[in-house]
Amino acid sequence: MQRMGKTHRASGAETGADMKTMLFFKACKQVLEDYGHEDAAFYFEQIETHLRDGGSLDQNKAGNILGV
């Protein structure tokens, strides 16, 4: 008899919510670059990278996420 496999709860990535959020920040970065706001675009890129690396949007760690 085969034993039951391990299961886990959906993290949000399965629903696409995390991907939509990441893509939103990526689009914001691009718009800011298009309008010559490279400094602001950098911070949106920091958030995008943080999310891409598996991080979450924790308001208590906003400074760390932005690198300030």
The angle at the Cα of 61, spanning 30 to 45, to the nearest 5 degrees, equals 15
Place of tokens 């670059």: 33
| Mean pLDDT value across the chain | 86
Would you say the pTM of this structure is higher than 0.85?
no
pLDDT digits (tens, 9 = 90+) for 46-59: 999 999 999 999 99
Q: What percent of the chain has pLDDT over 70?
A: 85
Question: Where along the chain do its domains lie?
Answer: 17-66
